[in-house]
Structure 1
Amino acid sequence: MKIDLANPAWQQTLPPARSLATDAPVAACAFNRDGSTVAFALGDGCVRLLPADIQQAAPEAAAPLHTGVALSLVGDPAGDGFVSGGDDGRVLRLAADGTATELLAQKGKWIEHLVAHRTGAVAASAGKSMFLFRDGEVREFGPHPSTVAGLDFSKDGSRVACAHYGGITVWSLSKEVVLPPRRFAWQGSHVALRWSTDGKFIATGTQENDIHVWRVAQATDMRMQGYPAKVKSLSWTADARFLYTSSQPVFTAWPFSGKGPEGKPPLQFGDEGAGLMTVVAAHPTAEFVAGGYDSGELQLGDIRTKRSVVLKMADGSPITCLAWSPDGFKLAVGNDRGDLLTIDLRR
């Protein structure tokens, strides 16, 4: 990916983008498997599907899919569309044309978290349970000690980790060899979870304004403190060398190569933005990272040069979600006001 943040063109002009205004906050955004379509889950129950090509016209909004709020969204790893979840307790599989098929209905529960794996599996949280969708089957795991507040697949897709009050639980997904779940305990509420891209670590953000990380093989843990707010967004670099975290005014990356971050400060770089970062998203292949702020500002950082540039100016509406296209050239952005932004970084 040829992006040079030291180039004056990147410092002086904003990249081309398509922006579409709606009347509902954006809860999540995602690209489909081949990157041709971008989708946004909205607070009015709609899931807006737009062409990823910013030169193409946006189609008219379709009727709401969820009878309430659309809360979660991922690209369908087994198709050309998406999978969405809502506060109506439904998980829907969406085709590229927006046609919906119901995968799950859990009345009275919220589908707050969805994750997908390249093997074709999708996991969803519903109350204290986690549901796995794979090969046309649905399996339930749980219950957990409290509502599942985050989940993620292991690198190979053989396990899913669920965050809850008091720590995390890791489930083996094999049907041939049934293994008991592994419990990694740490007091308090855990509000976000990400499994490292090399499979060695699981990180959570906690209610106490810090992050907690476990080494999966050894079951040892570490705690990193000093945040001014809860860390609700975590993102590992593609090579798992760094863990990016929200809730700071600059890009903050904890080093996990060598002996790891114990006793070391995080790497912080870039220009201090307006406010605190609400969402971070590491690039899928290169050493770039996107960071959205509670002020609405959006920055792109380069950990190699320790530089950052502004991709979107502050407008007073917090950025709520970010998603990279599979090829890493487009970035989807949603905010609390309901703006749907697709940025093309090719220049």
Structure 2
Amino acid sequence: MKPDLANPAWRSTLPPSRTVSADAPVAACAFSRADDTVAFALGDGRVRLVPADPSAAEIAAPGEPVHEGVVLALAADPAGDGFVSGGDDGRLLRLAPDGTVTELATQKGRWIDHIATHRASGALAAAAGKMALVAKAGELREFGPHQSTVADLDFSKDGSRIACAHYGGVTVWSIGNATLPPRRFAWAGSHVALKWSTDGKFIATGTQENDIHVWRMAQATDMRMQGYPAKVKSLSWSADARWLYTSSQPMFTAWPFAGKGPEGKPPLQFGEEGAGLITVVAAHPTAEFVAGGYDSGELQLGDVRTKRSVVLKMADGAAITCLAWSADGLRLATGNERGDLLVVDLKR
């Protein structure tokens, strides 16, 4: 059942949810492939597991640290039903559902602070300093070095390429053909976030200059969208690639990519203005909804079709740091800088 933001009942009551206190800041969260467990990456080295169903009686124990420092990145294991994590100890780990930890790579002196996965191929990629690591079918390969630290990375739609954001632009590598030279998309300045569009036609980055930059892959042409009050550190494409959602505004902001694209058009801003600025956005995996977490702790769900939004959690002063949807789009997980782990059930 899809959320109905036009329904007064949806707008007047908060949905069922479960909150667990972890007593450590949350860097990332993810649902397992089976959608039955949510993992949260914590600032004390732990990966905390919570049942995805808020009504479930069992709460997993806090567990022991798996990293020697801060867990910086987390994703569902694309090749199994566990998770993969990276930390400031330079370790890339696979965490099995039974608690078994397998080390995939160690990068001494580097942080593993970004992870991307491609579910269909079972591949995962991680940023480690100026290098990108790609693990697939038991093989680990390195791509780089780039001209600066890799600030973010993402797979192409078919999983055959990996895009890396860094100072001066984006570099795209072919994973399957090691002899193919990388494609470079240049734009001066630091690029701090990257997302490849769900249709594979565009790559978008957030920059240090409080704007976003987008490249058309086929023509290698680019466009720049400005006017943000802060750096855009979170980007998310709608499932049909018609909209690019961005953080760093008090309302939901969506750039239109249907037809001729956004050139010469203002972004669509919709929903209720929240308390503060949006820090994280996450598009629904199949429908027209988007979740937005604020630096005030407020959590909203927006509907780009009706241009409405509804509050899922009130502001509490702790900035939201991560968002993750279940694959069926019926549950939403979020964590904040205080260490609150929240799973919201949208099956009304």
Structure-1-length-normalised TM-score = 0.99
Q: 1:112 is paired with a residue of what secondary structure?
A: strand
User: Match of 1:319?
Assistant: 320
CA drift of 1:55 comes to 1.7
CA drift of 1:198 comes to 0.2
CA drift of 1:326 comes to 0.5
In 2: Cα distance, 1:289 partner to 1:20 partner: 23
CA drift of 1:107 comes to 1.1
Q: 2:105 is paired with a residue of what secondary structure?
A: strand
CA drift of 1:346 comes to 0.3
User: Match of 2:261?
Assistant: 260
Q: Is the 8 A contact 1:154 1:160 kept in 2?
A: yes
Aligned counterparts, 1:215-230, within 5 A: 215-230=216-231
CA drift of 1:51 comes to 1.5
Unaligned runs of 5+ in 2: none
User: Match of 1:47?
Assistant: 47
In 1: Cα distance, 2:310 partner to 2:129 partner: 40
Q: Is the 8 A contact 1:235 1:244 kept in 2?
A: yes
Q: 1:237-294: CA deviations, max 9, x gaps?
A: 0000000000000000000011100000000000000000000000000000000000
Aligned residue type for 2:152:
G
User: Match of 2:336?
Assistant: 335
Q: 1:171-228: CA deviations, max 9, x gaps?
A: 00014x6210000000000000000000000000000000000001111000000000
User: Match of 2:138?
Assistant: 136
Aligned residue type for 1:19:
T
Q: Is the 8 A contact 1:49 1:98 kept in 2?
A: no
In 1: Cα distance, 2:50 partner to 2:315 partner: 24
CA drift of 1:97 comes to 2.2
Q: 1:24-46: CA deviations, max 9, x gaps?
A: 10000000112111100000010
Aligned counterparts, 1:272-283, within 5 A: 272-283=273-284
User: Match of 2:25?
Assistant: 25
In 2: Cα distance, 1:96 partner to 1:10 partner: 35
In 1: Cα distance, 2:317 partner to 2:184 partner: 41
In 1: Cα distance, 2:197 partner to 2:170 partner: 15
Q: 1:9 is paired with a residue of what secondary structure?
A: helix
Unaligned runs of 5+ in 1: none
CA drift of 1:2 comes to 2.0
Q: 2:9 is paired with a residue of what secondary structure?
A: helix
User: Match of 1:127?
Assistant: 129
Q: 1:289-327: CA deviations, max 9, x gaps?
A: 000000000000001110000000000000000000001
Q: 1:46-69: CA deviations, max 9, x gaps?
A: 001111111222121110000000
Calculate percent identity across the aligned residue pairs.
77
Aligned residue type for 1:337:
R
RMSD: 0.7
Aligned counterparts, 1:143-182, within 5 A: 143-175=145-177, 178-182=179-183
In 2: Cα distance, 1:224 partner to 1:331 partner: 29
Aligned residue type for 1:4:
D
Structure-2-length-normalised TM-score = 0.99
Q: Is the 8 A contact 1:17 1:344 kept in 2?
A: yes
Q: 1:89-144: CA deviations, max 9, x gaps?
A: 00000111222100000111101100100110000000000000000010000000
Q: Is the 8 A contact 1:189 1:207 kept in 2?
A: yes
Aligned length: 346
User: Match of 1:238?
Assistant: 239
Aligned residue type for 1:104:
A
